[in-house]
């Protein structure tokens, strides 16, 4: 009798070189920058949406994405899609999958999810059902139960379940890619690294002219600018990803990708990048983070009021991420600060493109300059704008 090999059996043996649907997730509104990064790596985006992009690629390709992308959060490789009305159906479908080909029976895995099904009151219950199905299946086939829990540093399974439509993914990233691994000290109200790189991409900066970042806090914008200008990618700072814990993983592909990342790093003279802050503690933290990222020699740091920030004559980009009252600072004081930022840019930064990233539209009005562009972002759940000002000699007031 002919052996029937199901589709699933075929690709579980070869996930690393079998193209499948892949979803790359990102924070809301980072999608245009993520899409550009994916295309720059030579991949085709089949579909993009506000929190990510869909591709058709293998798990080996996912390794490249994990190591290169600055704006991504997770790279999810689809294993199976099916209908499930409730938790029992979910269990049955997940149990039918060949987990023994993907997860080591003596290994460890975790399950996370995005669930919207009326029979489920908490996603934790759906996670538990998926976990039980995987453990029971592997126990049946191998006689041993793998360990499971909430840690994301080994194999990670992701459930996406909306109404009756369920899809199971291997989360090839594990810990989020949105953190870039160099920020050992956060400082006050730091910007997420993926957001900071999106902000740098959204400016008109060419990576060659000066990048000035007064109010640098923990240095995220200046550090991301230095990383982008010198083509240093997040994979240089991270040695553990969830894809390494999937059966069939061969480390040569990872090390080859890392070699390529190292070869890409630009040795040419870097552009002037200047980061200042009024807080001595913030500058100390920013310097340490820059050191961890290997770009401390590319950034000139100073402790000063933003008005004392040195501005090179050759115009480039000046970018502020001031406090905006949501988490830090007091409003009336901030109103004065916002007006001073507008005056400083107008008087001292002629020829530059100026940017202020803020989540407070009332304070933004105090800047007193007319924005040439307003780029939408989210900082966490807060609706924010990157306001662009063309600081030519005749910059108009509001
Ligand atoms: C929202 S935080 C910047 C966060 C930064 N983007 C990061 O990723 O860590 C604002 C920073 O502005 C600094 N600051 C406030 N008033 C200032 C002033 N007048 N001159 C310079 N820096 C100032 C604060 O010390 C704080 O570090």
Stretches in the chain below the pLDDT threshold 70: 1-13, 326-330, 393-398
Atom of ligand 1 nearest to the CA of 322: 10
CATH 3.30.2130.30 fits 8-171, yes or no: yes
Please report the pLDDT score of residue 65 as a whole number: 98
- Say yes or no: CB of residue 306 within 6 Å of ligand 1: yes
Q: What is the pLDDT of residue 230?
A: 97
Give the pLDDT score at 245: 98
d(CA 377, CA 384): 5
- CA-wise closest residue to 309 among 352, 366, 367, 268: 352
Rounded Cα distance between 190 and 282, Å, is 10
- Output phi, psi for 70, to 5 deg: -95, -30
**CATH number corresponding to 193-231+266-390:** 3.40.50.150
Q: How far is the CA of 393 from the centre of ligand 1 (A)?
A: 27
Alpha-carbon distances of 202 from 29, 124, 176, 291, 359, rounded to whole Å? 11, 37, 22, 25, 16
- Distance from residue 219's CA to the centre of ligand 1 (Å): 9
| Token pair for 351 | 């020829």
What integer pLDDT is reported at residue 184 of this predicted model? 81
CB 212 within 8 A of CB 356: no
Q: What does the pLDDT read at residue 63?
A: 98
> What pLDDT score does 393 carry?
67
Domain ranges of the chain: 8-171, 193-231+266-390
Q: Is the dihedral of CA 12, 14, 20, 24 positive or negative?
A: positive
- Is 187 close to ligand 1, i.e. is its CB under 6 Å away? yes
Q: Is 222 in the pocket of ligand 1 (CB under 6 A)?
A: no
What local confidence, expressed as pLDDT, does residue 331 receive? Answer: 75
- Determine the distance separating the centroid of ligand 1 and the alpha carbon of 301, expressed in angstroms: 13
Whether 218 is in the pocket of ligand 1, judged by its Cβ within 6 Å, is yes
With tokens 């059966």, the residue in question is: 247
Radius of gyration of the chain (CA): 24
């Amino acid at each position: 009798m002919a052996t029937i090999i199901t589709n699933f059996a075929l690709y579980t043996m070869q996930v690393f070189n079998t193209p499948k649907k892949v979803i790359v997730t990102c924070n809301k509104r980072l999608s245009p920058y993520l899409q550009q990064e994916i295309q720059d790596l030579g991949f085709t985006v089949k579909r993009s949406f506000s929190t990510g992009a869909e591709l058709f690629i293998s798990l080996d390709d996912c390794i490249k994405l994990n190591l290169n992308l600055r704006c991504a959060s997770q790279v999810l490789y689809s294993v199976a899609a099916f209908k499930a009305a409730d938790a029992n159906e979910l269990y049955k479908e997940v149990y039918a999958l060949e987990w023994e080909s993907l997860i080591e029976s003596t290994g460890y895995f975790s399950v996370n999810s995005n669930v919207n099904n009326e029979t489920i009151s908490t996603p934790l219950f759906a996670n538990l059902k998926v976990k039980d199905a995987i453990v029971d299946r592997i126990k049946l086939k191998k006689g041993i139960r793998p360990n499971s829990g909430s840690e994301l540093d080994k194999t990670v399974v992701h459930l996406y379940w909306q109404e009756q439509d369920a899809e199971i993914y291997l989360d090839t990233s594990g810990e989020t890619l949105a953190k870039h691994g160099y920020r050992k000290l956060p400082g006050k109200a730091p910007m997420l690294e993926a957001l900071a790189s999106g902000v740098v991409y959204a400016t008109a900066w060419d990576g060659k002219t000066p990048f000035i970042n007064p109010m640098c806090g923990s240095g995220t914008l200046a550090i991301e600018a230095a990383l982008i200008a010198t083509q240093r990618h997040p994979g240089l700072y991270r040695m553990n990803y969830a894809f390494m814990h999937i059966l069939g993983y061969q480390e040569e592909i990872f090390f080859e990708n890392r070699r390529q990342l190292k070869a890409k790093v630009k040795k040419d003279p870097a552009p002037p990048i200047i980061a200042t802050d009024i807080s001595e503690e913030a500058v100390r933290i920013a310097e340490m983070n820059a050191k961890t990222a290997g770009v401390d020699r590319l950034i000139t740091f100073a402790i000063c009021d933003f008005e004392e920030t040195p501005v090179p004559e050759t115009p480039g980009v000046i970018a502020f991420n001031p406090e905006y009252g949501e988490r830090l600072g007091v409003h009336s004081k901030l109103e004065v600060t916002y007006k001073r930022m507008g005056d400083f840019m107008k008087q001292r930064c002629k020829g530059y493109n100026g940017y202020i990233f803020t989540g407070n539209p009332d304070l933004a009005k105090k800047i007193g300059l007319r924005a040439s562009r307003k780029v939408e972002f989210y900082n966490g759940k807060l609706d924010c704008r990157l306001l662009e000002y063309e600081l030519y000699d005749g910059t108009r007031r509001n």
